Amino acid sequence: MDDYIKFTQQIKRKTGIDLVLYKEAQMKRRLIALYEKLGFSNFNDFFEAIQKDAKILDEFLDRMTINVSEFYRNGKRWEVLEQKILPRLIEQNNGKPLKVWSAACSTGEEPYTLAMVLSNFMPLRSISITATDLDENAISRAKIGLYPERSLLEVPTDKKQQFFTLEGSMFKIDEEIKKTVTFKKQNLLADPFQSDYDLIVCRNVLIYFTEEAKDQLYKKFNDALKPGGVFFVGSTEQIFNPSQYQFATEDTFFYRKITS
């Protein structure tokens, strides 16, 4: 058996993570670079080391998850969310609080951006966002909420003044913003989804998955939305043929759930 296939089976048993659902060439390249850096020459030896040493397991998880994020990533899309999508969702919901999910939230920049955008429409105490990620280390960092200046480049000046304080060389997110977000560990490829969301934001993770995995996920995200709810994807993640998944394009990278 191909030693990568064997490795994927061992990792699935150990962590529940199914590497087969991630694009193989990309994932293999990344993991080979890691094991070579650590001084191993094949996946068998790499897995043995993962079994023995929690630090190596951590390095593996860190390398496979790719936590790169920033506030207001692709700023123009957040403008569309604010100017077009949210006004409709708020009206559709008759002023009731929106149910919002940041799926694959990494270190928190995305759900905190959502909170800041929503704060233009409602008081912070009415905002409640669920934020999930596979990577517990990323979630711990999100809860701490300390960011380097480069993560804040796209934050509007008024929001930077209102919601961040400088601590040494890092920026700390405001406690009131933090309170709007509940973080949870979740594997999108294995764990169940909640339902009745008005807005699901899932950006810059679907690109790592195989077509089959994406196909399953589009269906699950659609099921998790209310009719008229919106699925917001990353700027390289347009859905080819959205109607196949009961979605209509509301704007580029925003898909509205339609009922048949």
Footprint on this chain of ligand SAM (rule: CB under 6 A): 65-69, 73, 104-106, 109-110, 133-135, 138, 186-189, 203-205, 234
Token pair belonging to 114: 């959502």
Question: Which C-beta is closer to ligand SAM: that of 18 or that of 45?
Answer: 18
Closest contact distance (angstroms) between CB of 41 and ligand SAM is 27
**Cα–Cα distance between 233 and 256 in angstroms, integer?**
12
Question: Which C-beta is closer to ligand SAM: that of 87 or that of 153?
Answer: 153
Residue 89 main-chain phi, psi, to 5 deg: -65, -40
Across the strands, what pairs with 201? 102, 232
Give the rounded distance of the alpha carbon of 214 from its chain centre: 14
Residues with Cβ within 8 Å of 23's Cβ and at least 6 positions away in sequence, in order, are 208, 209, 210
Question: Which C-beta is closer to ligand SAM: that of 93 or that of 210?
Answer: 210
Closest contact distance (angstroms) between CB of 185 and ligand SAM is 9
**Cα–Cα distance between 98 and 89 in angstroms, integer?**
8
Question: Which C-beta is closer to ligand SAM: that of 113 or that of 246?
Answer: 113
Question: Which C-beta is closer to ligand SAM: that of 73 or that of 159?
Answer: 73
Closest contact distance (angstroms) between CB of 105 and ligand SAM is 6
Closest contact distance (angstroms) between CB of 86 and ligand SAM is 18
Closest contact distance (angstroms) between CB of 191 and ligand SAM is 8
Angle subtended by helix axes 54-65 and 3-15, to nearest 10: 110
For residues 119 and 174, the answer to whether their CB atoms sit within 8 Å is no
